[in-house]
Amino acid sequence: MDVDESVAINHDALQRILRNCADIVFRPLTLPDQADILLVYIEELTDAAKLEQIISACMISREFTRLTQYESVHYLSEVVAKVLKGSTAIFIDGKPFAYVAELTAFNQRAIAEPSNEAAIRGPREGFTEDLKTNLSMIRRIISHPTLKFDKHQAGELTNTEFVVAYIEEKVKPELLQEVRRRLDAFSTNQLLDSGYIEEYIEDKSWSLFPQIQNTERPDTLSASLLAGRVAIIVDGSPNALLMPMTFWAGLQAAEDHYERFIYVSAVRLLRLLLAMLSCLLPSVYVALTTFHPQMIPLALMLSISASREGIPFPTVIETLLMELMFEGLREAGLRLPKAIGSAVSIVGALVIGEAAVQAGFISAPIVMIVAGTGIASFAFPSYSLALPFRLLRFPLLIAGGFLGLYGVAIGLIFILIHLVALKSFGMPYLMPIAPIGKNFWKDAFVRMNKRYVSEQKKP
């Protein structure tokens, strides 16, 4: 519906659309020359001082070009959408359009250190919920005209804006095209977080493994853009999406590129080891003790055997119970306020660790195994990559409990098949290792000295 020349008609039309919207203010004004003006805005989202300026400007002259940010909108529906986003619409008699000015000023969280991706070294700022702030942070890091922000909108009801960011010189056209193709197919009536887009556009949403990386750090995002990846930043979400993602990206922390490279290489190998431990340790323990006791050195095995005397559960069940309990503890502690969270862990450690062993329900080695697994599972820099490992531990445990190391090996083969067949936006998931890529030595298992390799990684 077009904007009418008459303010009164516009007024009626708007009020019909926006009935029962208590937060929207209609403010009719009459200018000295008897022309009617209508301002429509949301009070809480509008900067009062600026609004006053506009009103006084209107009163004096009908000179709206002095406004810093405005556009003329011809369609009423568009006006409504803008107003609902916090803009102020100004209707003036005799003009078949509305001036829409962005006078938004609302309370938002300050830029803070990203809590899920803390770094010892490197910048401490993290994304906030506001898209513009986030974009400005990226623009400050990459001040180059080739950095592009493609604006999109999705969500019939939420009308959420999101931006596809890329660097024109670096990104492969096919990748960009593929991202756009998938975004075009994407439609939803609600877009509350970047997770909605992620689930919709990733290659295999049935997979346990994340195929799109998410980050709260502008520096990580910028580095990825420079490496030719594409980012999606959604208004209202502090987690930006990065694609394509490889498995190894989930094992890399932001400061890997700021710390000294030998240390980083060692830490990366350690992370890989811990990652494997976090899903294999319980199953291998169960397989060894119940199927292949000849593998365990005699002295160690006799102590294990001695500590298991009188335990009522089979080892598989014992491990399964303790693992479940551990996951429960972790989940319980996650949502609780910090003060109570620590109480949960104390209770858990005491009850499960001490009492169960003392009472002879659970053997001591199992507690150690579960604790070791827990520690290993915290070593992932990327939370979303730690999830599949946490989950896969259980099927592997069952496989190990029923068919020993052969079961574990077959389980591992199944997981690896999935990983080698998985692709993220056309890029094999295990990229620089399988298939082997150019930056195998530069930035996968280890990170090479930046002096000797170009630090930009190609996708």
Nearer CB in complex with other proteins: 314/328: 314
Contacts of 232 (CB under 8 A, 6+ apart): 162, 163, 164, 165, 179, 183, 194, 197, 240, 241, 243
302 binds other proteins per the rule CB under 8 A = yes
The sign one gets for the Cα dihedral 408, 410, 416, 418 is: negative
Residues pairing with 151 in the sheet: 163
Single out the segment in contact with other proteins by CB under 8 A; choices: 58-66, 76-84, 115-123, 398-406.
398-406
Q: What's the CA gap between 457 and 453, in Å, rounded?
A: 10
**Per CB under 8 A, does 241 bind other proteins?**
no
* Tokens linked to 393: 């531990």
Secondary structure element (H or E) that encloses residue 316, with its range: helix 315-335
Question: Closest separation between CB of residue 319 and other proteins, Å?
Answer: 12
Q: Is 84 exposed, middle or buried (0-12, 13-18, 19+ CB in 10 A)?
A: middle
Asked if residues 406 and 278 have their Cβ atoms less than 8 Å apart, the reply is no
Of the candidates 55, 272, 357, 433, which one interacts with other proteins according to CB under 8 A? Answer: 433
Q: Does 266 bind other proteins (CB under 8 A)?
A: no
- 418 touches other proteins (CB under 8 A): yes
Of residues 206 through 235, those in contact with other proteins by CB under 8 A are: 206
Say how many residues touch other proteins, by CB under 8 A.
Answer: 49
d(CA 392, CA 398): 10
CB of 233 to other proteins, least distance (A): 32
For the CB of residue 367, give the shortest distance to other proteins in the complex, in Å.
16
Question: Closest distance between other proteins and the C-beta of residue 307, in Å?
Answer: 7
What CA–CA distance (Å, rounded) separates 457 from 411? Answer: 32
Residue 359 interacting with other proteins (CB under 8 A): no
Instruction: Check if the beta carbon of residue 103 is closer than 8 Å to that of residue 87.
Output: yes
312 contributes a contact to other proteins by CB under 8 A: no
Contacts (Cβ under 8 Å, ≥6 apart) of 9: none
Give the max Cα distance, the chain.
101
Q: How many angstroms separate the CA atoms of 409 and 443, rounded?
A: 28
Question: Is residue 448 classed as helix, strand or coil in its secondary structure?
Answer: coil
* CA–CA dist 243, 200 (Å, integer): 13
Report in angstroms the alpha-carbon separations of 19 from 3, 41, 178.
Answer: 18, 14, 41
Among 9, 192, 349, 417, contact with other proteins (rule: CB under 8 A): 417
Q: Give the interface segment with other proteins, choosing from 81-89, 247-255, 269-277, 391-399 (CB under 8 A).
A: 391-399
Query: CB 421 → other proteins: shortest distance, Å?
Result: 4
Site string for other proteins, 181-210 (x = CB under 8 A): -------------------------x----
Residue placing its CB nearer to other proteins in the complex, 104 or 289: 289
State yes or no: residue 426 binds other proteins (CB under 8 A).
no
Residue 320 CA to residue 349 CA, distance in Å, equals: 17
Contact between 297 and other proteins per CB under 8 A: yes
- Least separation in angstroms between residue 251's CB and other proteins is 15
When binding is defined by CB under 8 A, the residue of 61, 205, 303, 449 that contacts other proteins is 303
CB 431 → other proteins: shortest distance, Å? 10
362 binds other proteins (CB under 8 A): no
Token duo for residue 71: 């556009």
Q: Which of 295, 340, 347, 349 binds other proteins (CB under 8 A)?
A: 295
Determine, following the binding rule CB under 8 A, whether residue 293 of this chain makes contact with other proteins.
yes
Determine phi and psi for 68, rounding to 5 degrees. Answer: -75, -45
**Closer by beta carbon to other proteins, 67 or else 427:** 427
The answer to the question of residue 21 lying near other proteins (CB under 8 A) is: no
Phi, psi angle pair for 376, to nearest 5°: -60, -35
User: Tokens 């977080």 belong to which residue?
Assistant: 193
435 binding other proteins? (CB under 8 A)? yes
- What distance in Å separates the CA atoms of residue 313 and residue 360, rounded to the nearest whole number? 10
In whole angstroms, how close is the CB of 267 to other proteins at the nearest point? 21
Stretch that binds other proteins, among 112-120, 125-133, 176-184, 407-415 (CB under 8 A): 407-415
Work out whether 289 is an interface residue with other proteins (CB under 8 A): yes
What does the binding site for other proteins look like in residue numbers (CB under 8 A)? 206, 289-295, 297-298, 301-309, 311, 314-316, 395, 398-399, 401-410, 413-414, 416-418, 420-421, 428, 430, 433-436
